[in-house]
Structure 1
């Protein structure tokens, strides 16, 4: 009996993941408002009633798509991931920033297309603002562990440092570089690393191993 229940749970989880993946593809390709629920259900191979039974509203489905993009296949929030932990444990500010940027770029490769697709869509504003709030809170954690390794440059508050981080390491900027200007993710990561070290810590690339 237990195996049967487990099998049902696994099938339900697989179906849910299929619906979320279909929603992510549709939202990123066509936009949130322009995507009807029946099209997502058709792509996922389920009845539209199943889609509504699972997510209740289109907004809840969008949130699930955000989480799918940010957490990845392992469903691990960024601040609990291995790359975040490695950045926290790095011995110097240069290494910490490089690891933090590299890890964030892996998230942006999945999440930035969705952020770009819903940006400015009033129908998706609530979900966008909620998730941007999570990113803001995450960057506040990042500022805390980074400043434990090296002080911020003179006159820069932790709040302003967080604000700069939100823009410099942001999905919008990542999308502009990669989508519009044809930069590679590694080129963007290199630029972001230099920008963070210089703008937040006053550390140039040549001496980014400063204690």
Structure 2
């Protein structure tokens, strides 16, 4: 009994590591296929083959079928890895939380958001296009709606942090601040500025930090945008 108890945490850790590796292999294969040939033309069998796993393993990892696979791809691309660690517990978020200067905190948030948007842009674009082409695909529509709700909920963290610092401009409640963060950090804004307007990512990051400060803190830094 004692020996079994000693082995159990080790075995559990191995199982968790194996599950993370499998999820990452599946998400990587699915992302490459979906971005390369589109969501609709990517089959579960192809993903399983490219990931080197059995089809049943794929369905076990994504019990909701292809929409669940799309969500797995999105989540792992967003996080940058397959670790079961909440976004709020990751080092880059903790560094922002530890920052007591609101302008520097927003600069750190803008840098993190830019890195996430760089990763997530091709995936989000593929899913948007697929949802637009297949409005009757309730599963995919639910995935995209859920992503937007998660983004809005995630925007409450920095808004509450600024509120706790007493840094939000007078009359701006944290909920309304979160809504502004949600809109300013949209993938669509990132695409338009870096692709249509041909801004560099550094210019986008600087703009985002200035816009967030101007909207939330009422500071004049938001006036110094590209082209002025």
TM-score range, shorter chain: 0.7 to 0.9
1:128-139 paired onto structure 2 within 5 Å: 128-139=144-155
Greater relative contact order (Cα 8 A, min sep 6): structure 1 or 2? Answer: 1
> Hey, what does 1:127 align to over in structure 2?
143
Which SS does the other structure have where 1:17 is aligned? helix
Conserved in 1, the CA contact under 8 Å of 2:124 and 2:187? yes
Aligned residue number for residue 122 of structure 2? 113
Change (3 A) 1:36 1:141: same
CA deviation digits over 1:123-150, x for unaligned, max 9? 3221122122122111112101012334
State the match for 2:47 in structure 1.
40
Measured after TM superposition, the shift of residue 63 of structure 1 is 1.8
| Aligned match of 1:62 | 70
| Long gaps (5+) in structure 2 | 223-228
Deviates more, 1:62-71 or 1:94-103: 62-71
Aligned 8 A contact 1:20 1:61 in 2: yes
- The more displaced of 2-11 and 142-151 is 2-11
Quick check: 2:24–2:82 contact (8 Å CA) kept in 1?
no
Return closer, same or farther for 1:164/1:7 CA change in 2, 3 Å cut-off.
closer
* Post-superposition CA distance 1:36-67 (Å, at most 9, x none): 22222232233434322432311221221122
RMSD: 2.7
Structure 1 residue runs of 5 or longer lacking an equivalent are 207-211
1:140 counterpart residue number: 156
Distance, in Å, in 1 between the alignment partners of 2:168 and 2:148 is 24
* TM-score (ref. length: structure 1): 0.83
The DSSP-based 3-state class of the residue aligned with 2:208 is helix
Contact 1:27 1:117 in 2 (8 A): yes
**Separation in 2, partners of 1:28, 1:62:** 11
Structure 1 equivalent of residue 105 of structure 2: 96
Distance 1:176 1:157 in 2: 29
Q: How many matched pairs? A: 206
Per-residue Cα deviation, 1:188-210 (whole angstroms, up to 9, x for no partner): 1100001111122110229xxxx
1:194 aligned onto 2:202: no
d(CA) in 2 for partners of 1:135, 1:69: 14
**Deviation sequence 1:169-191 (CA, Å, 0-9, x none):** 12221122234433222211100
Contact 2:159 2:177 in 1 (8 A): yes
Alpha-carbon distance between aligned partners in 2 of 1:195 and 1:138, rounded to the nearest angstrom: 18
